Chains A and B, each alone.
Chain A
């Protein structure tokens, strides 16, 4: 009972802080909340131009319009993941002075980062839906399968966000290489190419990357209009669950000293 009331207080604070941070961020810019739509549109436009028009369009075996859909259905969830992780990475370190003033669980900071990036991604996903409708993909019941996929991705982002945020507290230099790591993941997750194009000997390794599996599931639902294979989904749940357990064990070992280490 006490656990649930504490959890509710934690969630209320996290939600309020996320919305306040977004409000503060919007107030800093002339275009305010419009950036939530403009920035991802620009980002996707650049990727489409470079990889869709200049480079890959004919090498994927897909037709032009199919490739655009393929690219966008991969880019939107990946962008969500990348932003969440990049925002989480410095989150505990940046708030070390606040952690000296109030008693607050260090999980709070990466969690707020992930929540914030998730709220910002809502209009982008709506744009993706509008785009799919425009391209002739009719919504169907299988789209309901997106809900557990969203939840799974959110959980994965939260635990990975916590992991990188804790690692950055201990080794600050990691902040320099995390963006490169995220970029590497983007090229290793099948945003621009299908799994069939990965050499057979590397395919198992490719799908050990949970982001690659997630993108595959998104595309199965949105493009093929099919329910994701239960085997793939279960495997994904197990991988994310194992990562979550491992991160929680690390957190259990280090969380008592995080405030002190962050101040060093």
Chain B
């Protein structure tokens, strides 16, 4: 790898292996390899697509990149970037208001309370919830919850955003708005995105580079 391209690398995976212990052995094997010897680099500013059939290990790969799962073998190197999964509705509490849930969801994704409060108006506006944002979310419809979750995820983004097939949220109007916002992110030079989908056509259309995971 040249020095120039090395400088642009955000994440680097070398021979990464993830194993899960099976509850019951299959054909005498106690472990299942979800990822086997995966090596790849994610470059700053690119939109990288990852495709593969069901069970190929796409979601597991994102969890490794996000630091949620530690490789059983191999190595992952982070070149000074923040990385996070687009975790819609993570940590949502039904009894709390939309505002409180924005704060908790944002903080769980690694943002400070101050940073979240700075983006609060933008998040509320994107969600389209209006005054409902002060109500407990147990009073929301599932569409309203999705809109709130997506609004947080699309407004508070880490340097490397990992998306696991969650581009279709809310009603038809909101879906258009969400897809447009995501497209803007994808075309933004500062934003690195890794997008996982089993829909190869969608990935080809949205991404700069595509990697196929075979298992």
Contact = CB atoms under 8 A, between A and B. Distances in A.
Interface of A: 9, 12-13, 16-17, 20-21, 23-25, 27-28, 98-104, 256-257, 259-260, 264
Given A17-B104, A20-B104, A259-B68, A102 B109 contact: yes
Contacts of B93: 20-21, 24
Interface in B70-119: 70, 83-85, 87, 90-91, 93-96, 100, 103-104, 107-110, 112-113
25 contacts: A9-B112, A12-B107, A17-B104, A20-B103, A20-B104, A21-B93, A23-B100, A27-B95, A27-B136, A98-B108, A99-B68, A100-B63, A100-B68, A101-B68, A101-B87, A102-B68, A102-B84, A102-B85, A102-B90, A102-B91, A103-B110, A259-B69, A260-B20, A260-B69, A264-B21
Contacts of A257: 70
A12 B95 contact: no
B68 A20 contact: no
Contacts of B94: 24
Contacts of B100: 20, 23
A2 to B, nearest CB: 11
Given A12-B107, A23-B96, A24-B95, A98 B90 contact: yes
Nearest to B34: A260
B143 interface: no
Contacts of B103: 16, 20
Interface of B: 20-21, 23, 63, 66-70, 83-85, 87, 90-91, 93-96, 100, 103-104, 107-110, 112-113, 136
Contact of A103 (B67, B104, B113, B136): B67
B140 to A, nearest CB: 15
Nearest to A27: B95
A16 B85 contact: no
A264 B91 CA distance: 21
B39 to A, nearest CB: 20
Contacts of B66: 102-103
Given A20-B96, A23-B100, A101-B87, A13 B70 contact: no
A131 B93 CA distance: 37
Contacts of B113: 12, 16
A257 B21 CA distance: 11
A23 B95 CA distance: 8
A21 B104 CA distance: 10
A257 B68 CA distance: 10
Contacts of B110: 9, 102-103
A75 B95 CA distance: 32
Contacts of A102: 66, 68, 84-85, 87, 90-91, 108-110
Given A12-B107, A12-B113, A16-B103, A24 B96 contact: yes
A13 B68 contact: no
B13 to A, nearest CB: 16
A260 B70 CA distance: 10
Contacts of A104: 108
Nearest to B88: A101
A20 B94 CA distance: 11
Contacts of A256: 70
A97 to B, nearest CB: 9
Contacts of A259: 68-69
B164 to A, nearest CB: 10
Nearest to A23: B96
B99 to A, nearest CB: 11
Contacts of B70: 256-257
Contacts of A103: 66-68, 83-84, 110
Nearest to A99: B68
A23 to B, nearest CB: 7
Contacts of B84: 102-103
B77 to A, nearest CB: 16
A-B pairs with lowest CB-CB distance, top 3: A101-B87, A24-B95, A256-B70
B21 A260 contact: yes
A16 B104 contact: yes
